Amino acid sequence: MTPAEIREEIIDILGDIAPDENLDELVDEKNFREQLELDSMDFLDIVMELRKRHRVQIPEEDYGNLASMKTTVDYLEPKMRDIIKA
């Protein structure tokens, strides 16, 4: 997957776990927490959905990399590079 495709996938996951949020205006450099009302349960869901959909494992000590869209995509890029977008 390209970084753009990974971003699209994260948007899709966020749409699933937070359907009432407007994701069109999401600023990639800003923290999710500042823009969306996500709590620890929602972050767990991002991790779990990535595992479910793409078999991507994210160890707990790496959860901090999911702070914003930019850091998330940067972190996932090497892990998801070889995944073919369905």
Residues that bind other proteins (CB under 8 A): 16-21, 37, 39, 41-42, 44-45, 47-48, 51-52, 57, 59-61
Quick one: 37 or 74, whose CB is closer to other proteins? 37
Q: What is the distance between the terminal CA atoms of the chain, rounded to a whole angstrom?
A: 10
Widest CA span in the chain: 32
Q: What is the spatial distance between Cα 44 and Cα 27, in angstroms, rounded to a whole number?
A: 21
Quick one: 15 or 28, whose CB is closer to other proteins? 15
Task: Compute the least distance from the CB of residue 17 to other proteins, in Å.
Answer: 6
In 3D space, the residue among 14, 31, 10, 34 whose CA is nearest the CA of residue 22 turns out to be 14
Task: Compute the least distance from the CB of residue 79 to other proteins, in Å.
Answer: 15
